[in-house]
């Protein structure tokens, strides 16, 4: 991997960190609508699509797209999964558990693709999976 590519990835993950910090700040202040707008704009800026695009896929089609058509690579999948994870909690704050569950299902699928197809494993991800599984099953 070239130095320019590494610099680009570092910038992407730094931006993701700033976005997550802002989202958590909005949520702590009870500004969930503002968090949703910020998350939507940020996701569109980082991956060229808003959340509705990703959430519009059936779970099977979403998985297939990640496995066969996804262009942004592993870094893009990590960004997508973290943004959808944050969006899930924002939708939960807004009283939209169905949309939150859809976000969390997409997060799980993305993590599964990363682990199975890309060979990446993440302990923090596995701990979050337990929380997501409980949420999804209680809002099914």
User: pLDDT, tens digit, for every residue of 59-98?
Assistant: 999 999 998 888 878 889 999 999 999 999 999 999 999 9
Whether the CB-CB separation of 129 and 79 falls below 8 Å is answered with no
User: pLDDT, tens digit, for every residue of 110-125?
Assistant: 999 988 876 766 788 8
Q: What is the domain extent for residue 63?
A: 3-138
Cβ contacts of 128 within 8 Å, gap of 6 or more: 85
> How many C-beta atoms lie closer than 10 Å to residue 11's C-beta?
10
> How many C-beta atoms lie closer than 10 Å to residue 26's C-beta?
20
- Rg, C-alpha atoms of the chain: 15
Opening angle at CA 55, ends 113 and 61, nearest 5 = 50
| Count: domains in the chain | 1
pTM for this one? 0.89
Mean pLDDT of the 117-140 span: 86
């Amino acid at each position: 991997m070239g130095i320019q590519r590494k610099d680009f990835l570092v910038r992407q993950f730094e931006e993701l960190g700033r976005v997550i910090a802002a989202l958590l700040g909005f949520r702590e202040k009870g500004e969930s609508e503002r968090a949703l707008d910020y998350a939507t704009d940020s996701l569109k800026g980082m991956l060229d699509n808003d959340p509705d695009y990703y959430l519009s896929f059936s779970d099977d089609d979403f998985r297939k797209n990640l496995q066969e058509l996804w262009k942004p690579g592993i870094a893009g999948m990590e960004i997508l999964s973290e943004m959808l994870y944050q969006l899930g909690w924002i939708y939960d704050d807004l009283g939209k558990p169905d949309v939150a569950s859809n976000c969390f299902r997409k997060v799980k699928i993305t993590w599964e693709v990363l682990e199975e197809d890309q060979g990446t494993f993440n302990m923090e991800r596995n701990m979050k999976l337990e929380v997501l599984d409980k949420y999804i099953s209680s809002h099914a």
